[in-house]
Chains A and B, each alone.
Chain A
Amino acid sequence: MGFLFDGLDAEAYDRKYDDRQLVRRIVGYFQPEARRMLLVGFTMLLDTLSRAVVPIVISRGVDEVQLTQDSALIVTYGLLVAALGASAWLFNFIRRSLTAEAVGNVVLKMREDAFDAVMKRDLSFYDQFPSGKIVSRVTSDTQAFSSVVTLTVELIGQLLLVAVLMVYLLFVDLVLTLIVILMMPFIIGVALAFRKVARFTVRHSRRVRAEVSALVQETVSGISVAKTFRQEHAIYADFLKLNRRSFWINLRMGFVFTGIFPLLNLIVAVAMTAIVYFGGLRMNAGALSAGDWYLFAQGVALIWFPLTSIASFWSQFQLGLASGERVFALIDSEPKVVQRDNRVLPALRGEIEFANVQFSYTDKERVLDNFSLHIRAGETLALVGHTGAGKSSIGKLIARFYEFQAGRITVDGVDIRALDLSAYRARLGVVTQTPFLFDGTVRENIRYGKAGATDAEVERAAYQIGNGDWLKSLSNGLDTEVGERGSSLSMGQRQLVALARVMLQNPAIFILDEATASVDPLTEALIQEGLDAIMKDRTSIVIAHRLSTIRHADRIIVLKKGQIIEQGNHEQLLAQGGHYAELYNTYFRHQSLEYIEAQRRAAETHAN
């Protein structure tokens, strides 16, 4: 039953590897399982033979007992049939167990290879693919692949049965076999036609289901609002309409699906009747025995199911190859960030130099163009500019998350491409715009900054941020569970955890992409205090969104289209009335206390 309905909603996929390459690759993965697969083939053969032989034995038995009337013979035949049934079961059991083991191992290896490949990629890879897609390649595509392999093995077994039976039947009676053969294209044809219609119906129904789902979700979320405004009847009417419409569409799909089996049965029925009639004629003519006739009737019953499975086989096979291909494409993609050497800097001071750097994320526009900047050790630098000016790129290049196209970047005078990345990154503290937390406790998240840190060290880092007052706002202090992605904590609290993590790591270089989300003023104060503590005596590169941060920086760098156009401190730059002033008026003005006071006074005099 399953085969006929499988894979109806498969999406078209652009294939780059050809079938033979893929098959060879897949076979390569199965090589460590060679012995198991051999046994699988062997037991499959035995299983097939056992099952195929049963109707033959019965037919022989019927004939012989008619002739001889020997009791012992009856018992022998009966037990033989039972034994064949039992052995078929046994071989099937062994085959399926071995298949499960082999496929399980192969899929595990594929997943491990895929994961390793994913970890090696640089950040441009993660920009290209949303995390959901990557995850689905490592887990879902491999899963789909494993299902297809299992199914294929099943199917081969079934086809073998059909083949063996047909061969035997050919030797028994040609005419009747021809009738059976005639039936086959009809069954396969009907099954294929059904799949075409079904594929269309499924897609349509799926679309409507999604619509209903979305509308239901939306109107349900809005029930509270609807109740506030006493509009329940209005949304109910909308819902009713859509619900009823989805009923008709799903009913139609249901009818299409249920219709197929009676139809297939009908075809088999016609074939069966023909066999009964013509078999009877031939038996009357003495060309056929009763047992043989029974054999044909049984044969038809046994093969129609495998035939319907053939219809779905080809698309299943393609699906499996497509899944496999997606996984291999992932494993084969080349990382862009490649280090030339493995130098370790024992005492990283944090002096950074950009010399004529060219950088673009994609082949499109250049983000940094002939960019040069010298950052002194321990300096706090604030980067400001419109979106796309190149602010975050600078931080990402320093962290060696991306490869740049031309120029040189040195850290403490050493080419960044020559550094041992693990050792270098251990001395680098990065806080992203939306701080990322792992599912676990606050303590564990902080500890992530330094593998093997003691509880005392973790606590000390936590207390260095705003006197640890932020811990009081957590439901269970350091042992508070943060939830998936830190969802149990507020945005502000997540930032504080990230800061504590950096504190523990004690990096030489600190890179911060300030969050833009608003945070309550109390937490904001704590965050600012934490930043003060971290940025003291450390090279800090901040993509600034807070006026407070900018004003406390040693130097402000104003970027426009990948170039530095202004530099200085807040008062100087504001007085210049240039790009910085424009940025200030667009993004930072409302954070200024003086401005707020001035606005209010203006509003009051306006009202008077």
Chain B
Amino acid sequence: MLNAAKSEFTVANAYRYDRRSAARWLISHVMRYKWFFLATLLLYIGTYGAYTASEALIGQAIGAVIAPERFALLPTIALAILGLKLADSILSLIGLLSIETIAQRLEVDAREELYANLLGKSQTFHNQQRVGDIMARATDDVQQLNGMINPGVAITLETVIGIAVPLVFIASLRFELLLVPTLFVALYIVSVIGYVRRLNPMVRRQREQFGKMNAGLEESISGIEVVKASAQEAFERRKFRLAASLFRDYFVRQGYIEARYLPVLLFGIAFGLAFMHGMWLYQQGVLTIGDVISFMGIMGVLRWPTFASIFSISLVQAGVEGARRIVSILNTETELDQNSGGYNQPIKGEIVFENVSFGYDRNHALRNVSFIVRQGQIVAIVGQTGSGKSTLTQLINRTYDATFGRVLIDGVDVRDWDLNALRSQIGKIEQDVFLFSRSIAENIAFGMPNATQEQIEQAARMAQAHEFITSFKDGYQTLVGERGVTLSGGQRQRIALARAFLSNPRILILDDSTSAIDSATEDEIQKAIRQVQQGRTTLLITHRLSQIRWADMILVLDAGVLVASGTHDELLRRSPHYRRIFARYDMALPPIEISAAD
């Protein structure tokens, strides 16, 4: 049922990543910079090698001092220590820079990939999802990838290397000294896993409760007029106290878990036992006192890696979860059959619905809808929210396909049309008109980038927008959006109408549910819509009485069922639904004729 992944947009020379699973995807991204990664690894090993060696040398320094014949070595050893620590600093700096680069590149690459992928998805996908929401989530997730690598993976690497390297040094000092540190590392790993397992759910619960407390409070405050007017302050107070107390409980429980962090205990005990072991070997004559101090110094190196690892675990987890979500978006396919060999003719504009139903199980957005719209007619679609108005229009340009019945344009089933040819001739103006942060002229000419200024102005004039556009200081070059002017709903609508003029669709679907505050704007919008209706089949989802009153045909929908269709006069006589609208207008209603069919 799904076609092979076809994209409506591709970037030349794009790097191909592995999208089979989140883990593979992450690895394929990181592998793009495998030399950086290798470098980081080697640099970290170098860093810890230098650092541990310097700690070990401190012990040797003591040995040099105790044995008077070796005293001359002291300055050399001191310099060596300094040199090693310098090397440590430099190597760790370069290593961190290297992994920081990987982290930032991962974020940028992932964002590019996601964006190109979204652009390539079909119209169907974009009409179904709230893409803005997806991208918001994805932006968060993409940013978390950054934190996952640095500090997440960086610290994990550091922990592993920071434990392995000192152990190697200890072994080279005296193999049996490994006894205590190895035991410590094993117990440490176990306790950290347990710690994270207990901590993370509590952190999540706390965060959620904070969100709930916030949302509840926000609600009480936003609705304060209602709260006061209904004298419900005590009720709100109780609600808030409950939420805040629960938060306090989670906060304290998290505090207990964090306080109990076992590795600190383990390390403290291990330190003592290591000391004991070291001194005992010294007594045996196997180690010098310098060796013992070296050993304690190297044990001290273990302190930081064990402490740091707690941060990294949750970061890596969050990153992987985010990656999973991103990969699922990347892999989503929703495609209708493009049917590129299908019917491809200029649309005349006749639309027929034959027993069309849409929906699944018990959620039917449309039920058995049938009507005929002739070429060039103006159709007003009236109904409450959820009555199926939008769904009806979405079946015309094949945003969705009917689950039962047929939709015909010019006598040909929409499924037999070439999808591209069909969609390019049907224009749609949404309720929330989207304009880019560009000039007004560019917005109007969006579909026809080669339009001349004259053509643009002509379209604006027809849409009754020319006056207000020229009233701005920069006229047609005025920028829209955050960096430019804020336009009112009516003004945006007229710019969208101008845009539609230029693209000249044969069928126009207009969701005209905006309200005008003043009669002057209202008149302008009426004029604009009247202009744009000329010569093309127009479907208006509208609330305006003037649109309804003078449409060639009115479709009244109620819960997915077409309860009435016809002209204003016909409906006034036949439809109780329709009559109700006009009941309070102090006009004499014609006598009602209810036929057996209604």
Contact = CB atoms under 8 A, between A and B. Distances in A.
A197 interface: no
A223 B434 CA distance: 10
Contacts of B587: 593
B205 interface: no
Given A61-B279, A78-B272, A146-B251, 5 more contacts: A62-B292, A69-B283, A247-B108, A436-B222, A439-B215
A281 B74 contact: yes
The list of the 10 closest CB pairs from A to B, nearest first, reads A85-B268, A78-B276, A100-B255, A82-B272, A518-B515, A269-B85, A81-B272, A96-B259, A490-B385, A229-B447
Interface in B515-551: 515-520, 522-523, 526, 530, 543-546, 548-550
Contacts of A94: 259
Given A82-B273, A596-B545, A525 B583 contact: yes
A490 B376 CA distance: 32
Contacts of A572: none
B428 interface: yes
B393 to A, nearest CB: 14
B474 interface: no
Nearest to B151: A1
A541 interface: no
Given A220-B132, A277-B75, A521 B545 contact: yes
A277 B580 contact: no
A489 B97 CA distance: 52
Contact of A65 (B222, B223, B235, B279): B279
Interface in A35-86: 54, 58, 61-62, 65-66, 69, 71, 74-75, 77-86
11 contacts: A82-B269, A220-B132, A227-B123, A234-B449, A254-B150, A272-B85, A421-B231, A472-B559, A520-B382, A593-B549, A600-B546
Interface stretch (B21-29, B87-95, B404-412, B456-464): B87-95
Given A222-B434, A277-B75, A425 B64 contact: no
B453 interface: no
Contacts, number: 431
Residue of B103, B139, B248, B269 most packed against chain A (CB within 10 A): B248
Given A258-B96, A265-B89, A283 B283 contact: no
B78 interface: yes
A227 B434 contact: no
Nearest to A247: B108
A207 interface: no
Contacts of B423: 228
Interface residues on B, range: 35 or more
A71 B382 contact: no
Given A96-B259, A587-B519, A596-B545, A88 B268 contact: yes
Contacts of A66: 289
B88 to A, nearest CB: 7
Interface in A114-153: 115-116, 118-119, 123, 126, 131-132, 134-135, 138-139, 143, 146
Nearest to B520: A586
B439 to A, nearest CB: 14
A108 B245 contact: yes
Nearest to A66: B289
Contact of B283 (A71, A261, A270, A492): A71
Nearest to B255: A100
A21 interface: no
Interface string A266-297: 10011011001100110110000010011001
B81 A273 contact: yes
Nearest to A94: B259
A130 B293 CA distance: 63
B436 interface: yes
A112 interface: yes
A104 interface: yes
Given A78-B276, A429-B229, A280 B108 contact: no
A519 interface: yes
Interface stretch (B31-39, B185-193, B236-244, B315-323): B236-244
A71 B280 contact: yes
A89 B268 contact: yes
Contacts of A428: 229
B513 to A, nearest CB: 6
B104 A250 contact: yes
Nearest to A423: B231
Given A104-B252, A220-B118, A93 B543 contact: no
Given A89-B265, A229-B446, A62 B289 contact: yes
B238 to A, nearest CB: 11
B300 A548 contact: no
Contacts of B245: 108
B282 to A, nearest CB: 7
Interface in A422-451: 422-423, 425-426, 428-430, 432, 436, 438-439, 448-449, 451
Given A100-B255, A101-B255, A432 B226 contact: yes
